[in-house]
Structures are given as C-alpha cells and as structure tokens.
C-alpha cells in the first residue's frame, strides 16, 4: 500500500511542479475547441446536428485525457534513461504494486487534465445538460485515463528510448483519437470505419462522456462502462506483465 501511495504521490508532485507542462498541454485542447468549435459550428448546425460545441467538448476532453495518459505511461522510458527505474526495480516490493502506483499516479494526472479542459470548455459555451451526472462523467474520465496510462506503460516497458515514440503517436494514438467519434458522430459511417470505431476503446469513453455530459450516448452508458472497465483491466494486466519483465 505504501509503495502504491508513494509512487502515486511522486507522479502528482512532478506534475504539479511542471507548470510549463500543464500550460503546454492545455494549448492543444483550447485550439481544437476554438478552431473546430467555431470553425465547423455553422456547418454542423446547418447539417441538422445542433450545437457543435456541445458535441465537440466531450470529444476534446477525451482527447486531452488520452494524450496526457499515454504520455504519463511513456514516462517510464525517461526513468529508464535517467536511472530511477532501477531504484524501484530492486526494491523488495512486487512489480505489480510499482506498476500500479505509477499508473494510478499518471491516471490521476490525466483525469485532472480532463477536468481542467471541462472547465475551460464552459468558457467557449459548453453547458453540461445535467449537473448531477458530473460525477459519473468523472468516473468515465478516470477510466479513460487509467486505460491509456496502462497502455502507455505496457508500450514503454518494451522500449528503451524515445525513437519509437513518434511511430506510436502516428500509428496508434492519433488513429485512436480521430477514429473515436471525438470530432464526428459515429453514425452513417462507411462499414470499415464503423468497425474500427467499434473496436476502438476510446469510442466508448467518449460516448460515455456524451451520455453523462450532454445526454447523447450512441451506445448505452452500461455498455460504455463495461467495455471501458474490461479493456482497462486487460491493459493493466498486460502492462503489469511487460513491466515485470523489464531488465535494466
């Protein structure tokens, strides 16, 4: 327990101390909200979709959680390079607890990031339809955060430097984002795209956010929750396995 807590705390402290990282990582979601929200708003409304900002904000919240979470997981590569990872790997505690502490810490950071983006979204006109559902929305945010931090951990456990990072961004993270329904509705898509979006776990996260924040889920909230929870558990299991095999 103490292991999980201290490694969780470490991630939080490091996050709170890097003001530039916090500000920097908010730039992108703000740009998307403003540029896409205002830029495509009228087309979307003409197409009969209603308010695009309402539709877009949950997607952008999901996006910023996705990026922050993957990044938190990938941080293991730095710990490998700067050597701190060794300090934890030789300690008389289970590797699972080490992995869990780090992952929970990274997920908390990503979750906080999501909440900050939610607050920012209200400044560009986003209005949650039911404030009572903010708590379930936060549960979805945290699940998305946990899932992708664990995925980042699993990937980073297999990498020794940042060389592969660009590859992962371009061929995994960006597709996960663009094909998740974050920017457009998941209805009336070509069959192949539809299949991909159905496999993509982020689709269920963003759908869950839409369900709770603007009462517009495509699937049911229970489907969203169950799929997310199961994939999260699977990612933690795979991440913990790869992490336990790290050599330094």
CA–CA distance, 145 with 72 (Å, rounded to integer):
10
Cα–Cα distance, 210 to 50 (Å, whole number): 14
CB of 157 to other proteins, least distance (A): 14
In whole angstroms, how close is the CB of 101 to other proteins at the nearest point? 10
Binds other proteins (CB under 8 A): choice among 40, 109, 119, 248: 248
**For residues 52 and 142, what is the distance between their CA atoms, to the nearest angstrom?**
24
Q: How far apart are CA 14 and CA 248, in angstroms?
A: 23
Stretch that binds other proteins, among 87-95, 154-162, 170-178, 201-209 (CB under 8 A): 87-95
Contact 5, 97 (CB under 8 A): no
Q: Is residue 179 a contact point for other proteins (CB under 8 A)?
A: no
**Cα 15 to the center of its chain, rounded Å:** 16
**Residue of 86, 170, 226, 233 interacting with other proteins (CB under 8 A):** 86
Instruction: Report how far residue 138's alpha carbon sits from residue 110's, in angstroms, rounded to the nearest whole number.
Output: 11
Find out whether 173 and 67 touch, Cβ atoms under 8 Å: yes
Name the residue among 52, 51, 56 with its Cα closest to residue 32: 56
- Interface residue with other proteins, options 16, 43, 45, 91 (CB under 8 A): 91
* H or E stretch at 5: helix 2-17
Position among 94, 129, 170, 220 found at the interface with other proteins (CB under 8 A) = 94
Residue labelled with tokens 């159905």: 198
From candidates 38, 84, 123, 171, binder to other proteins by CB under 8 A: 84
Least distance (Å) between residue 150 CB and other proteins = 21
Q: Considering CB under 8 A, how many residues would be counted as binding other proteins?
A: 25
Contact call for residues 60 and 32 (beta carbons, < 8 A):
yes
Stretch that binds other proteins, among 12-20, 64-72, 172-180, 231-239 (CB under 8 A): 12-20
169 touching other proteins, by CB under 8 A? no
Interaction mask 15-54, other proteins, x per CB under 8 A: --xx------------------------------------
Query: Is position 14 an interface residue for other proteins (rule: CB under 8 A)?
Result: yes
Q: How far apart are CA 61 and CA 59, in angstroms?
A: 5
Would you say 26 or 93 has its CB closer to other proteins?
Answer: 93
- Interacting residues toward other proteins by CB under 8 A: 2-3, 5-7, 10, 13-14, 17-18, 79, 82-84, 86-94, 247-248
């Amino acid at each position: 327990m103490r292991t999980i807590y201290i490694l969780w705390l470490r991630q939080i402290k490091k996050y709170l101390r890097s003001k530039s990282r916090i500000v920097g990582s908010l730039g992108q979601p703000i740009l998307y909200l403003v540029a896409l929200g205002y830029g495509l708003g009228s087309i979307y409304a003409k197409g009969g979709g209603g308010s695009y900002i309402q539709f877009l904000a949950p997607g952008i919240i999901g996006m910023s959680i996705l990026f922050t979470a993957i990044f938190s997981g990938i941080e293991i590569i730095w710990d490998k390079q700067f050597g701190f990872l060794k300090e934890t790997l030789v300690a008389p505690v289970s590797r699972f607890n080490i992995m869990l502490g780090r992952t929970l810490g990274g997920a908390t950071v990503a979750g906080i990031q999501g909440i900050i983006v939610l607050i920012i979204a209200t400044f560009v006109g986003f209005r949650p339809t039911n404030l009572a559902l903010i708590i379930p929305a936060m549960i979805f945010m945290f699940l998305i955060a946990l899932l992708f931090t664990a995925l980042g951990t699993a990937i980073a456990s297999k990498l020794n430097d940042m060389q592969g990072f660009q590859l992962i961004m371009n061929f995994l993270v960006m597709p996960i984002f663009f094909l998740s329904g974050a920017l457009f509705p998941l209805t009336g898509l070509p069959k192949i795209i539809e299949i991909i979006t159905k496999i993509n776990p982020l689709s269920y996260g963003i759908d869950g956010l839409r369900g709770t924040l603007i009462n517009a889920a495509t699937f049911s909230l229970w489907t969203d929750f169950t799929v997310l929870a199961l994939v999260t558990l699977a990612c933690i299991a795979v991440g913990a396995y790869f992490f336990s095999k790290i050599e330094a």
